[in-house]
Chains A and B, each alone.
Chain A
């Protein structure tokens, strides 16, 4: 075991980070697969159904556990129909453009006290700029398809994402003010000292705004007018089939997982333990680590499903009103409050 660890440490940095990149990529893909299953199960339970329980089981336990693999194989084998009116090249590239930022943003995620793949100084800006690129895939898909439903869906989605991106950006300004850095690992470290110094308490309005904006950014229910199956059939991906559709699906779920992880990092102390300062420092539960990030991420991910099972879809003008007239004023006010708090050293960040 030590021999392997020595070998690992002796490898050049590039090789090690490439290995981590591949591990994270595969982990995100697998998480997406099981998130789809978890979503169907959770919504099933909330509606007093069983959810998928036919495909596979492990010794009679966990019925339906292999459902995602069946879905993936089916989607891989389906024909990708190319509409004759479509712009051939952009139609094929659009799903890739949505997928790439959803994965590449993981590069700056602080997974563990000692593990960030790319420990860049402006990590938060990197994430923000990458997620703002994701909207291109949707706009291009809607335009390249050359179908009215797709075009309407794309335009709706673009205007909506754009409105909520501002609220999200303002909310993150508050986080940066409190932490005094753009590096995600340092943002987590700025929240050290137990639950009471996690940012969700001190920046509670911004935390709520970020949660809502995160749901809207990923085009999830109740803000899923871009798909709106009852009005514009499926919005921007109405003509997509097979693997091209699967890429949009993969990107949507990868974005959900990403937003959940980011919420945990920005507001719930990422990999910090909630028992820090409560239990003795040498207690295993008080140790920071990836498992805490995972638990927090899983909680927010399940919230996404909870929203979907609970709320009816917002009307489009209501979405725009919420984004522009409620969330943005709330963030502006709280940025002012937080600025005064930081300046007069009130709150958990008084130490620095």
Chain B
């Protein structure tokens, strides 16, 4: 009963947040609505006892992906007026996509023939059941091939991100610690001989002038 109340409460928040994502005029507000939507989805997942995935949803999507979204939304000064101007033009395409998604979702429910009542909760699990351990026991043995594919996918993501965004600005003088540590006396200090022939002038018998470091 209590679980059911929680389910409907979280579902209502999730729907409201999802609506907020598309209805909000401010892109930052949209991104934050999406954060709320992820949170409530995680709560819904917890209700069906998929503990690990629920928390990882928060950890990865809220803690990492949405930070990227916020960075992008905050840094690019998107002209909202211009984006809104395209609404009518793209409305047809949008409708097609929306009806496709709707058809798919109806298909999913139809296939199950509404037999599974999600609000009833998962079947009871033994007391010492650990969702994370259960996942770990199959992911790295039984499903090792998709697991390694995930690594390749992540590698592609790293390479793609770097090739797309990395720009070297010319004229920079970055600090190179190894170079600084490896510097020798001869590189920096110049022996300055006396200024007069007798060798008694200022600068004679000195290893270096005070500004010797800059001469090197």
Q: Which residues of A contact B (CB under 8 A)?
A: 87, 90, 120-122, 125-126, 128-129, 132-133, 135-136, 139-140, 143, 155, 158, 162, 165, 181-182, 317-318, 321
Inter-subunit contact B130/A121 (CB<8 Å) = yes
Apart from A128-B59, A136-B67, what are 20 other A-B pairs with CB-CB below 8 Å?
Answer: A90-B28, A121-B130, A122-B51, A122-B55, A122-B131, A125-B52, A125-B59, A126-B55, A129-B55, A129-B58, A129-B62, A129-B63, A132-B62, A136-B35, A139-B67, A140-B28, A143-B28, A143-B70, A158-B67, A317-B175
Q: Which residues of B contact A (CB under 8 A)?
A: 26, 28, 32, 35, 51-52, 55-56, 58-59, 62-64, 67, 70-71, 74, 130-132, 174-175, 177
A133 to B42: give the CA distance in the assembly, Å: 14
Inter-subunit contact B67/A121 (CB<8 Å) = no
Q: A128-B59, A139-B70 are in contact. Are A121 and B51 (CB under 8 A)?
A: yes
Inter-subunit contact A158/B175 (CB<8 Å) = no
Chain B residues with CB below 8 A from A318, complex form: 175
A90 to B70: give the CA distance in the assembly, Å: 13
Inter-subunit contact B131/A121 (CB<8 Å) = yes
Inter-subunit contact A162/B67 (CB<8 Å) = yes
A209 to B36: give the CA distance in the assembly, Å: 32
Chain A residues with CB below 8 A from B71, complex form: 155, 158
Inter-subunit contact A132/B131 (CB<8 Å) = no
Q: Of all chain A residues, which has the CB nearest B51?
A: A122
Chain A residues with CB below 8 A from B177, complex form: 321
Q: Of all chain A residues, which has the CB nearest B52?
A: A122
Inter-subunit contact A132/B63 (CB<8 Å) = yes
What is the CB-to-nearest-CB distance from B30 to chain A, in angstroms, rounded to a whole number?
A: 13
Chain A residues with CB below 8 A from B67, complex form: 135-136, 139, 158, 162
What is the CB-to-nearest-CB distance from B126 to chain A, in angstroms, rounded to a whole number?
A: 12
CB contact between A121 and one of B62, B74, B132, B175 (< 8 Å): that residue: B132
Inter-subunit contact B63/A133 (CB<8 Å) = yes
What is the CB-to-nearest-CB distance from B129 to chain A, in angstroms, rounded to a whole number?
A: 8
What is the CB-to-nearest-CB distance from B55 to chain A, in angstroms, rounded to a whole number?
A: 4
CB contact between B55 and one of A87, A90, A125, A321 (< 8 Å): that residue: A125
16 A-B contact pairs sorted by A residue (CB < 8 Å): A121-B131, A122-B51, A125-B59, A126-B55, A129-B63, A133-B62, A135-B67, A136-B35, A139-B67, A140-B28, A140-B32, A143-B70, A143-B74, A155-B71, A158-B71, A318-B175
